[in-house]
Amino acid sequence: MISNFKGKVAVLTGAGSGFGLECAKIGAQLGMKLVLVDVQKDALDAAQAQMQTLGAEVMARLVDVSNEGHMQALANDVQQTFGAPNFVFNNAGVGAGGLVWENTVADWEWLLGVNLWGVVHGVRLFTPMMLEAASKDPNFQGHIVNTASMAGLLTPPNMGIYNVTKHAVVALTETLYQDLKLVSDQISASVLCPYFVPTGISQSHRNRPSQLKADKPTKSQLIGQAMSDKAVGSGKVSAADVAKMVFDAIEKDHFYIYSHPKALGNVQHRMEAIVQGHNPPDPFKERPDIGDKLKADLRS
């Protein structure tokens, strides 16, 4: 919940592309001071130059969000340069598919590191800063947005690790929201649950660290990559559209941010099955052609 963004400080991870970059653009246009964080140097440099062209005061840092030391150094730099941030966007994320038993330990470590630990580090390092600022200034306003996914509310097959990380982010953020309401009226939180939006996430393996090198992809992983490329690339809702939704949610203190509300029908089917004790429903109930093709490809 931030009523006036001018002069406020925003920390955005994954700021070199996708939602992070588009939120940075809006922040710059609103007169915010920006801390841009990414692991890809060329994308980060381009984002920094673009935001400076828009007139924003910018601090850019090359950071692996899964790394505790990197994130601690980032938090220290933010505190010393700008003070407590008002908007923290824990947004950096990577994707991977495949049948869940075929994923390697390296696959698990990479996705858990970026998608979950990146958010954990952002929450544990910046929330205390914001609470301290709020205790000293009754006019301080802060908001934390964590990027999850519709995969954090569903369990689509052939993408198990991703589902696990995003379910964890939803649970973490819901708890963060409740915890904040216990101690402060000045800081709130939201969770972003996008569906298929054209961003760089389907090609996130470009930034996979060498120490977590992928094995030769299995058949299910190749199928999952192809499906992801097609679904993400054909998305009609843009990253810029989602960024506008994020800022609207911050202003209105809305917790759940959905890029595709129509996909909530699948979530409702899942929740009803949980409450009624039924077996998990078909995640492709509304698009059986997709499920039929995936099954046929895997069994061929």
How many whole angstroms separate alpha carbon 86 and alpha carbon 256?
Answer: 19
* Residue 162 annotated to the active site: yes
**DSSP 8-state code for residue 201:** G
List strand residue ranges (DSSP E) for 66-117, in order: 87-90
Sheet holding 256-258, edge to edge: 58-62, 33-38, 9-13, 87-90, 142-147, 187-193, 256-258
- Identify the bridge partners of residue 98 per DSSP, sorted by sequence position: 159
The backbone region for 90, taken as left when phi is positive above 0, alpha when psi lies in -120 to 50, beta otherwise, is: beta
**DSSP 8-state code for residue 159:** B
Instruction: List the catalytic residue out of 162, 177, 256, 258.
Output: 162
How many whole angstroms separate alpha carbon 91 and alpha carbon 117?
Answer: 12
Q: Answer whether 63's CB lies under 8 Å from 38's CB.
A: yes
> Of 146, 195, 188, whose CA–CA distance to 171 is shortest?
146
Structure-derived torsion over alpha carbons of residues 43, 44, 46, 52, reported in degrees to the nearest 10: 160
The tokens describing 19, both together, are 């939602």
Place of tokens 């609103």: 30
Catalytic residues, which ones? Answer: 162
